[in-house]
Homo-oligomer: A and B are copies of this chain.
Amino acid sequence: MTNHPDDTIASRISRALADRIISGELAPGQRLRQDHVAEEFGASHVPVREAFRRLEAQGLAVSEPRRGVRVASFDLREVREVAEMRAALEVLALRHAVPHLTPAILDRAAAATAAADSSRDVRSWEAANRAFHRLILEPCAMPRLLAAIDDLHAASARFLFSAWRSSWEARTDHDHRAILAALREGDGDAAMAILGRHVQWIGRTPVRNATGETREVFSIVG
């Protein structure tokens, strides 16, 4: 087996499952059976169990002792909760990042925004959006804070994908441009204010499902 160093089987399984949960391939409430997962990855169930624990900590799965693990469900309450936590923590991160932001970083963030705007599908849009946020927040150099924000981004992405799974249209992110403009002018407070609102923006979106019906779905955007 090709074992890259610094990479354990458990972490590979954890990442793969996280990706499926986030993309919606694994539905909320769905049971995760350790032997099945183990067989699929050609491993035994011991690393699978460790992967489950990590998913649990990330809030992507819930475990009931002796009754198995399920994909975490989520409702509008939780969408709001994650959005508000992100707003609080990303604003905090930005406050500390501002003194260390360089024009080069802002240029890369602008490129990420452009990439998001020209995305043809949700997945690449989400990746570009995440890159933007990470770029402007990373200079805060607070690893624990950044890790927490990453987990919240994963949760956000679940909601995003669940809303826009079928239909997707490119949008232009004015907030991102406004944040960059404020940062370029050295107005950190304004950037923080926009970011805080931006992350909490929750919209109603009409979504067409497989049978052609249209229903309104709440979704997080920033």
> Contact residues of A with B, CB < 8 Å?
5-8, 10-11, 46, 49-50, 53-54, 57-59, 64-66, 77-78, 81-82, 84-85, 88-89, 91-92, 142-145, 148
In the bound complex, CA of A88 to CA of B7 (Å): 33
Interface of A is mostly: helix
24 sample A-B contacts, Cβ–Cβ < 8 Å, listed by A number: A5-B65, A7-B65, A8-B65, A11-B65, A46-B49, A49-B50, A50-B53, A53-B53, A54-B57, A57-B57, A57-B58, A81-B144, A82-B144, A84-B92, A84-B142, A84-B145, A85-B89, A85-B144, A85-B145, A85-B148, A88-B89, A88-B91, A89-B89, A148-B148
In the bound complex, CA of A148 to CA of B152 (Å): 11
Residues in B whose Cβ lies below 8 Å from that of A58: 57
Q: Are A65 and B6 in contact (CB under 8 A)?
A: yes
In the bound complex, CA of A84 to CA of B140 (Å): 12
